Amino acid sequence: MPEPDVYERVMELAKRRGFIWPSAEIYGGVAGLVDYGPLGARMKRRIEEIWRSFYVLREGFHEIECPTVGVEPVYVASGHVKGFSDKMVQCPRCEEYLRADHVAAAHGVPNPAALSAEALSGALKELPCTACGEELGQVKVFDFNLMFNTWIGPGSQRKGYLRPETAQGIFTDFPRLLRFYRDKLPFGTVQVGKSFRNEISPRQGMIRLREFTQAEAEIFVHPEGKRHPGFARYAEYQVPLLGCCAQDEGKEEPVRVAMKDAVEGGLVANEYVGYYIALTHEILVSIGVDPARLRFRQHLTTERAHYAADCWDAEILSGRFGWVELVGIADRTDYDLKAHSAVSGVALTAYIPLEVPRMEKRKRIIPDMKALGPKFRGRAKEVADALVKADPGPGGVEIDVAGEKISIPASLYQVREEEVEVRGEEVMPHVIEPSYGIDRMCYAVLEHSYGEDMVEGEVRRVLRLPAAVAPVQAGVFPLVSRDGLDRVAAEIASTLTAGGIFTEFDESGAIGRRYRRQDEIGTPYAVTVDYQTLDDGTVTIRERDSMAQARVKKDALVATLRGLICGDIAFSSLGP
């Protein structure tokens, strides 16, 4: 089991070695905001690049970049203005603002996120405040909207919000994306960028931030086409799944299931959701999440959004925080496009040609211009154009002309019945959304890769990061800084850097200390130049995890390290 205080040790190392720092620390820092130091920023970029290698390179989903500020109607349509809030309570004694469901959860109230404000208020009455420990008493629980708001332009012109998720930009670009993808379904689009949520009391380091990075994919599919064309890739792939029925039965342990069986057995709603669960498992393990501390938990019916057909969270086990969600994978149906279509008035549908055209009887309105002219005068043509597009009702129709609703009685038009050939239909695509929190992934990787062992009577702190994620890939050390060893080592360091290997040259202190410094930041390989190098042109490579060493020709170093880093060469194959 992970140790509870591993968080302290990981964060101490992360701060000291330049991974994560409190933001604006010289002014006392701000809860929910962090800075990535030099090594953290590089590790984060590497994780984002691995994510892109799956979604952009392999899946072929193009990446777009939208502003972080959005106009109000976007978030009215998405439901964030009305419903993106957490239940908040203020302690009457210490005046701290707290998330009501978190206080309830801390005192063992079951499933508090599903409780109403009144029910939460009742549940909190006799509980102590999590900040000061005094009894909360009769406190009011109210909704606090998590969006940061602002004004766009001077003079309070347009209300705007900092985006609470990257997804909305993809939805509002749907018509252009559809054209870009040549009007065909399915297609996917991704976005990686900052999102903002004014979290009530973020006290969980990188887990709950007020500004964080998301990597989201929105995959637009035909509503009746949820068989993934590439499903075979993951049909036999086994993933630890904890379904909602198992949770209802009080189970906490996931069951490893081949994705084909999970979908065929109805545990996972469809192949698309199954495919992205498996792909997410592959990504998380490849960046260094421990597979033994990773599970996929299905949302309970009480926590799942009403419109979602299925929803799973990838969760990791943390020593401090328990199970933490890193990724949400949902079948959002047509909720988002429908909502944006209703508010913007733009049809967000795709025209899909039918495989076999069909004949259909249709009623068509023929406006009576002789009657419309005197009645509507200058607007008669506009009215007629709107009438032609309307469906005839029994006693007349209601049309919309420049935002005005007008009732037209049946006496102002004729109805003609015709048989038409239907070659295609407009469909509103459904959206499959895998949504990743990059900062939580970074923390998970740090915690899961952190280890301590005893080496030569001293504690060795080590980050067992995958080579593809490690911010420094090779340390280069001269055994001593004289006799030309330092010059050769410096040359090797620049050759490795020129060869695309991120290298750190270090000549200070005992060699053991230098190894420890690199172990602590997760550098997978250390190259040492010694006196033998001057004789035969070989250097030693030390592997971080096994601490084993092998001698290789320095001229072959770039190729050897590249092979080791990308996994094409096993260290054991290098010989002693």
Contacts to ligand GAP by CB under 6 A: 165, 167, 197, 199, 208-209, 212, 214, 216, 325-328, 433, 435, 437, 439-440
Residue (164 or 367) nearer to ligand GAP, CB: 164
Residue (100 or 326) nearer to ligand GAP, CB: 326
DSSP string, 176-208: HHHHHTTT-SSEEEEEEEEEE---SS--STTSS
Q: What is the DSSP letter of 288?
A: T
Three-state secondary-structure class, residue 312: strand
How far apart are CB 102 and ligand GAP at their closest, in Å? 13
How far apart are CB 188 and ligand GAP at their closest, in Å? 14
Q: How far apart are the C-alpha atoms of 69 and 147, rounded to whole Å?
A: 11
CA nearest to 121, candidates 144, 90, 93? 90
How far apart are CB 25 and ligand GAP at their closest, in Å? 19
Residue (188 or 367) nearer to ligand GAP, CB: 188
Q: Could you give the count of Cα atoms lying within 13 Å of 331 in the half-sphere of its Cβ?
A: 22
Neighbours of 44 (CB within 10 A): 21
Residue (214 or 528) nearer to ligand GAP, CB: 214
Q: How far apart are the C-alpha atoms of 66 and 181, rounded to whole Å?
A: 18
Residue (435 or 503) nearer to ligand GAP, CB: 435
Q: How far apart are the C-alpha atoms of 48 and 190, rounded to whole Å?
A: 12
Q: Which amino acid is at 513?
A: R
Q: Which amino acid is at 352?
A: I
Residue (115 or 316) nearer to ligand GAP, CB: 316
How far apart are CB 459 and ligand GAP at their closest, in Å? 31
Residue (168 or 518) nearer to ligand GAP, CB: 168
Residue (44 or 440) nearer to ligand GAP, CB: 440
CA 115-98-11 angle, to 5 degrees, is 115
How far apart are CB 313 and ligand GAP at their closest, in Å? 7
* Position closest to ligand GAP via CB: 437
Q: How far apart are the C-alpha atoms of 490 and 36, rounded to whole Å?
A: 28
How far apart are CB 529 and ligand GAP at their closest, in Å? 43
CA dihedral over 403, 409, 414, 416, signed as positive or negative: positive
Beta bridge partners of 472: none
Residue (79 or 499) nearer to ligand GAP, CB: 79
How far apart are CB 311 and ligand GAP at their closest, in Å? 9
- First-last CA distance in the chain: 35
How far apart are CB 445 and ligand GAP at their closest, in Å? 13
Residue (285 or 548) nearer to ligand GAP, CB: 285
200 Cβ contact list (under 8 Å, min separation 6)? 86, 88, 97, 98, 99, 144, 146
Q: How far apart are the C-alpha atoms of 573 and 558, rounded to whole Å?
A: 16
How far apart are CB 247 and ligand GAP at their closest, in Å? 18
Q: According to the 3-state scheme, what is the secondary structure of 483-544?
A: CCHHHHHHHHHHHHHHCCCCEEECCCCCHHHHHHHHHHCCCCEEEEECHHHHHHCEEEEEEC
Neighbours of 438 (CB within 10 A): 21
How far apart are CB 70 and ligand GAP at their closest, in Å? 14
